[in-house]
Amino acid sequence: MTSSRLPAPSGLLIDRDKPVSFTFEGKHYSGFAGDSIASALLANHQWLMSRSFKYHRPRGPLTMAGQDANTLIQLGGEPNVLADRTPLANAMAAAGQNYAGTLENDRDAFLGKFGRFMPVGFYYRAFFKPFGAWDRWEKLIRAKAGLGKLDLDFKPEYYDKQYRFYDVVVVGSGPAGLSAALDAAKGGVSVLLVEEQPLLGGALSYHRFDVDGQQADALRKELIDQVEAHANIEVLTDAVCNGWFADNYLPIIQGKRMFKVRAKECIVASGAFEQHVVFHNNDLPGVMLTSAAMRLMKWYAVAPGQRVVILTGNDDGYRAALEMLDRGIKVAALVDLRKQPDDPALLDAVRKGVAAVYQGHTAYEALAIKGNKHIRGVDIRAITGQGQVGSNSTLIDCDALCMSAGYMPAYQLLCQAGASLSYADDNAAFSLSGLPEHLHIAGSVNGIHALDAVLADGRRAAQQALFNLGKVGSKPEPVHCDVQVNYHWPLFVHPKGKEFVDFDEDLQMRDIVNATRLGYRDVQLVKRFSTVGMGPSQGRHSALPTARLVADATGRSVTETGVTTARPPFAPEKLAHIAGRGFDPYRRTAMHHRHVELGAKMVPAGSWQRPAFYGLEQDRDNLIQQEATHVRTKVGLIDVSTLGGIEIRGVDAAEFMNRIYTAGFLQQPLGKTRYGIVTNEHGVVIDDGVVCRLSDQHFYVTATTSGVDRIYRDMTKWNAQWRLRVDVYNVTTAFAAVNLAGPDARKVLAKVVTDLDISPDGFPYLAYREAEVAGIPARLMRVGFVGELGYEIHVPSSKGEALWDALMAAGAAFDIRPFGVETQRLLRLEKGHIIISQDTDGMSHPGELDLGWAINRKKPFFVGCRSVDIMMAQPLTRKLVGFRLPAGTPKPLEGHLVLNGNDVAGSVTSCEYSRTLDAIIGLAYAAPDAATPGSRIAIRVDGGASVMAEVVKTPFFDPDNKRQEL
Tell me the DSSP string of 499-566. Answer: BEEETTTTEEHHHHHHHHHTT--SHHHHHHHH-TT-STTTTTTTHHHHHHHHHHHHT--HHHH--PPP
Q: What is the pTM of this model?
A: 0.77
Q: Is the pLDDT of residue 931 over 70?
A: yes
Q: How far is residue 946's CA from residue 822's CA, in Å, rounded to a whole number?
A: 26
Q: How far is residue 954's CA from residue 832's CA, in Å, rounded to a whole number?
A: 5
Tell me what pLDDT residue 2 has.
Answer: 55
CA-to-CA separations, 16 to 65, 302, 305, in angstroms, rounded: 21, 12, 21
Evaluated on CA atoms 263, 265, 269, 270, the torsion sign reads positive
Average pLDDT of span 88-111: 92
pLDDT 10s digits, 782-817:
998 999 999 999 999 999 999 999 999 999 999 999
Average pLDDT of span 382-391: 96
Residues 6+ apart with CB under 8 A from 372: 57, 58, 109, 281, 284
Q: How far is residue 821's CA from residue 758's CA, in Å, rounded to a whole number?
A: 26
Q: Is the pLDDT of residue 118 over 90?
A: no
Q: How far is residue 493's CA from residue 126's CA, in Å, rounded to a whole number?
A: 27
Closest CA to 184 of 454, 446, 461: 461
On whether the CB atoms of residues 517 and 301 are closer than 8 A, the answer is no
Burial class (CB in 10 A: 0-12, 13-18, 19+), 90: exposed
Tell me what pLDDT residue 1 has.
Answer: 46
Q: How far is residue 628's CA from residue 638's CA, in Å, rounded to a whole number?
A: 12
Share of the chain above pLDDT 90, in %: 88
Tell me what pLDDT residue 269 has.
Answer: 98
Tell me what pLDDT residue 59 has.
Answer: 95
The Cβ of residue 517 has, within 10 Å, a number of other Cβ atoms equal to 12
Average pLDDT of span 384-409: 96
Tell me what pLDDT residue 709 has.
Answer: 94
Average pLDDT of span 31-46: 96
Packed helices 708-722 and 653-660: angle between N→C axes, nearest 10 degrees: 120
SS (H, E, C) 648-712: EECCCHHHHHHHHECCCCCCCCCCEEEEEEEECCCCCEEEEEEEEEEECCEEEEEECCCCHHHHH
On whether the CB atoms of residues 423 and 417 are closer than 8 A, the answer is no
Annotate 352-382 with b (16+ C-beta within 10 A) or e (fewer). eebeebbeebbbbbbbbeeebbbbebbbbbb
Burial class (CB in 10 A: 0-12, 13-18, 19+), 864: buried
Average pLDDT of span 722-732: 97
Average pLDDT of span 372-401: 96
pLDDT 10s digits, 451-465:
999 999 999 999 999
Average pLDDT of span 135-162: 83
Q: How far is residue 843's CA from residue 877's CA, in Å, rounded to a whole number?
A: 11
Instruction: Reduce the DSSP state of residue 322 to 3 states and report it.
Output: helix
**pLDDT tier for residue 130 given thresholds of 50, 70 and 90:** confident
**pLDDT tier for residue 37 given thresholds of 50, 70 and 90:** very high
Q: How far is residue 741's CA from residue 789's CA, in Å, rounded to a whole number?
A: 6
Q: How far is residue 731's CA from residue 779's CA, in Å, rounded to a whole number?
A: 13
Q: How far is residue 850's CA from residue 865's CA, in Å, rounded to a whole number?
A: 16
Q: How far is residue 749's CA from residue 758's CA, in Å, rounded to a whole number?
A: 8
Q: How far is residue 333's CA from residue 310's CA, in Å, rounded to a whole number?
A: 6
Q: How far is residue 179's CA from residue 889's CA, in Å, rounded to a whole number?
A: 77
On whether the CB atoms of residues 225 and 508 are closer than 8 A, the answer is no
CA-to-CA separations, 941 to 389, 890, 892, 926, in angstroms, rounded: 70, 7, 5, 15
Q: How far is residue 290's CA from residue 876's CA, in Å, rounded to a whole number?
A: 66
Q: Beta strands 698-703 and 685-695: pairing type?
A: antiparallel
The number of residues in the chain equals 966
Closest CA to 892 of 914, 918, 920, 916: 920
Instruction: Reduce the DSSP state of residue 923 to 3 states and report it.
Output: strand
∠ CA 102-105-107, nearest 5°, is 90
Average pLDDT of span 111-132: 74
Phi and psi dihedrals of 448, rounded to 5? Answer: -115, 125
Tell me what pLDDT residue 780 has.
Answer: 98
Closest CA to 791 of 966, 612, 954: 966
Residue 360 is classified by DSSP as S
Listing DSSP states for 114-140 in one string gives GGGGS-TTHHHHSSS-STTHHHHHHHH
Average pLDDT of span 87-100: 94
**Segment of 138-142, 210-214, 529-533, 727-731 carrying the highest mean pLDDT:** 727-731
Q: How far is residue 571's CA from residue 239's CA, in Å, rounded to a whole number?
A: 11
Q: How far is residue 879's CA from residue 172's CA, in Å, rounded to a whole number?
A: 57
Q: How far is residue 873's CA from residue 917's CA, in Å, rounded to a whole number?
A: 36
Closest CA to 332 of 313, 304, 360: 304
On whether the CB atoms of residues 676 and 854 are closer than 8 A, the answer is yes
The answer to which of 105-119, 177-191, 266-280, 457-471 has the lowest mean pLDDT is 105-119
Q: Is the pLDDT of residue 848 over 70?
A: yes
Phi and psi dihedrals of 536, rounded to 5? Answer: -60, -30
Arithmetic mean of pLDDT over the chain: 94
